[in-house]
Amino acid sequence: GQQLNQSPQSMFIQEGEDVSMNCTSSSIFNTWLWYKQDPGEGPVLLIALYKAGELTSNGRLTAQFGITRKDSFLNISASIPSDVGIYFCAGQLLGNFNKFYFGSGTKLNVKP
Amino acid sequence: GAGVSQSPSNKVTEKGKDVELRCDPISGHTALYWYRQSLGQGLEFLIYFQGNSAPDKSGLPSDRFSAERTGGSVSTLTIQRTQQEDSAVYLCATRRAETQYFGPGTRLLVL
């Protein structure tokens, strides 16, 4: 099936550092979504992107929908301990609104 | 409620027993999805509903797994004759336009 390649798989950073993670695919996506999952919880939507080139911010988080429609990145600025969790990208293929494909996740660890 | 809710939040069962997991979607969201997430892993698609019908059941791992949805609202995922490898978090999500919203999940442990 369709795969999203998400990287890095895990990150260990110091509080205050900026973080960047990305997802790529060989196919064209119509939508890119970024989620955060805390331990024992369901994924929570952080940012949704609907147009190629779109750059959207949510507080310290910024995400972009790649121009080629085959990639997206998520940046977190000035990380804090509560940023710890697993971040997933997800997307819908062009022409198929019924199915979502997920990356394997980026596990973020923040040292105080 | 405002979000997707799932029950029970945790379920411990013995191997061979049947379990039912419930999802209450966001009101008005006609598309509903079930996923499975094993410990430390990503999300595995199980089944998708549009209204009460399931156009895509391709992710169900075996015939022990089934799901139904009634009244275009509540959905139930049933696992018959549970096995230890069924232990995982089962997540329900609903869709509005091109965005998907998740419930908190049911943590299933099969002993």
Q: What is the pLDDT of residues B44-54, one digit of tens each?
A: 999 999 989 98
What's residue B39's pLDDT?
82
Interface subset of B 84-103, CB within 8 angstroms of A: 91, 93, 95, 98-103
Residues 6+ apart with CB under 8 A from A59: none
Q: Using the 8-state DSSP alphabet, how is residue A92 labeled?
A: E
> Which of the four pLDDT bands, split at 50, 70 and 90, describes residue A29?
very high
Partner residue opposite A30 with nearest CB, options B95, B98, B104: B98
Q: What is the pLDDT of residues B1-37, one digit of tens each?
A: 579 999 999 999 999 999 999 999 998 888 999 999 9
Q: Are B77 and B46 in contact (CB under 8 A)?
A: yes
What's residue A71's pLDDT?
96
Count of C-beta atoms within a 10 Å radius of residue B12: 12
Q: Rounded CA gap, A56 and A47, in Å? A: 7
- A88 CB neighbours in chain B (<8 A) are 42-43
What mean pLDDT is predicted for residues B51-71? Answer: 92
Q: Is A94 on the interface with B (CB under 8 A)?
A: no
Q: Rounded CA gap, B21 and A36, in Å? A: 23
Q: Are B32 and B23 in contact (CB under 8 A)?
A: yes
What's residue B64's pLDDT?
97
Give the whole-number percent of chain A exceeding pLDDT 90. Answer: 85
Residue A1 has pLDDT above 60, yes or no: no
Distance (Å) from the C-alpha of residue B81 to the closest C-alpha of chain A? 25
Q: 3-state secondary structure string, B18-84?
A: CEEEEEECCCCCCEEEEEEECCCCCCEEEEEEECCEEEECCCCCCCCEEEEECCCCCEEEEECCCCH
The burial of A90, by beta-carbon neighbours within 10 Å (0-12 exposed, 13-18 middle, 19 or more buried), is given as buried
Partner residue opposite B42 with nearest CB, options A48, A98, A105: A105
Q: Using the 8-state DSSP alphabet, how is residue A83 labeled?
A: G
Binary contact (B42, A103; C-beta < 8 A): yes
- B100 CB neighbours in chain A (<8 A) are 33, 45, 90, 100
Interface subset of A 49-88, CB within 8 angstroms of B: 50, 88
Residue B76 has pLDDT above 60, yes or no: yes
